[in-house]
Every structure is written in structure tokens, then in C-alpha cells.
Amino acid sequence: MALVNLKQLVSAAFHHGYAVGSFNVVNMETLQAILQVAEEHHSPVILSVAEAHFPFVDLEEFSPILLRAARKAKVPVALHLDHGQSLPAIVTALRNGFTSVMFDGSTLPLEENIAKTREITRMAHAVDVSVEAELGHVTGGEDDTSPGVADPSLFTDPQEAELFVAETEVDALAVAVGSVHGIYQGTPELDIERLAAIRDLTGVPLVLHGGSGLSNDDFRQAIAAGIAKINVYTDMSQAAMARIRTVDTLPQRLGFPEFMLLVREAIQEAVAEKMQIFGSVGQYN
């Protein structure tokens, strides 16, 4: 199956009531783990590289590897720039074969977010690349280890979302409805009514960032209310770190390659669990 446009994946998910997982890639182990599970479970998948991870991932050096792996995969794969906040990062992704970019202007005033998103959408659509944007603001960061809570004052306004989508023509919209990036302090409560209102007013696939701490039922309700793409990183990272901490208890001594295999196995388990919950398993045969 060839590398595909993200719009193709999330539109199918949006109309058929499941979500596609967008899993952050930070090295070869994460790349191999994600694709192996996607193929075994016949699930479409999104490989994401976050601008926040550029210190660990040289996008120009790593892109040919990502592209080759995606093109060889037996399931549909989209290659996505996650939380692009700078024009150079977005241009680099476009020049290196990504099929989707996210522009995160969520901290900007509404008018400025619309204007910048609109220009990026025009540029990306000219080369058949999908665009995700964010309205409202999901707090926390990709590698934030300090627990956080959602701020209702930053939640996405449904009427603003309707205007935003109409003005920018984005293919997917990331919304703030009660989740946070990183670890959630306490028990998150998603505003499902708000989410459904955004779906009804915009008509575009919606994206959930910051799923850590959410229950299986939370995910299912969110998908029923319009979520078609769910970002996953913290759960993968925590699974890998938990497996690393077991190394000292193993009877055999491990070399570095064996050590990395343990990490890959932990990530595979986390990815497989999420694909089952999101309903993407078996969506491509």
C-alpha cells in the first residue's frame, strides 16, 4: 500500500465511526514498532514527527527512511508533521515528502491564527498535502513529565470553530475539550457535548491531542462525537520507560541491541492496545 494523504485516512474514519492513531516517531525502534503492529492488525496508521522532537530527529536525514518504510508498508500510512509552529519546519516537511502538516497557532489571537493557517493551507494544498490546525489550546507539552489539568477557559468555542474551518479550509481540526499533553493530574473529563457541537458546525474530522489518562469509554465517546485522529506519545514513552526499569531484574545480561528490542516490544504493546480501543483494527484488509 502506498503512502497516502492524511485527509484520506481521517475522512474514512470520520464517516465510519473509528479513529486513526497518530504515533510519534523518535527513532528507528518506534518506527519499526508502530508499522509492525499496524500491519499485524490491518490498521491504517499515521507516523508523526513533532517539531518539539527535532533535537532528537534530524528531519532531513530521517525523512528518506520514513518514506521508504511507509511506501513498503502493507497498510495505508500517512506521514505527518506534528505541532508545527514555525514556517521553516513546515516547509522542511513539505520538501521532504510529508503528506500532512499541522500548524499549531493555538496560542495566537483568532484572527492571526486564521490568517496564518489559511496561508499554510494554500501552500500545502497546492502540493496535495493535508493540513491540520488547532483552535482552543491543549495545555502541556510532548515530553512534559509534570502532571497537568485542562483549562476550560482555553476550550474550543464551537462558533469560532465553524468560522475557522470556513475561512481556512483545513482538512482536520485539533480541539481542546478537556485533555492535556503529557500526564493528566487526576481524572480528565471530556466535554463531549461541546465536541459534538463542533462536529456538527464544522463537518470536518476532529483531532484529539493529549489522550493520556482517558478511559476506554472516554475514547469511544469522543470518537462517536467526531474524533477521527488521536495522537499518542506519552503512553508509548511511559511503556518504554517501564520496560527499561525491569532490566535489572532480568536473569540474563543484555547488550544494547537486546535492550532496544525490549523497548520496541513495550512500544508495540502500547500501540496495539490503542489501535484496538480506537477501532482501527481490521479497517484495511
The set of catalytic residues is 82
Query: Using an 8 Å Cβ cutoff, are 67 and 47 in contact?
Result: no
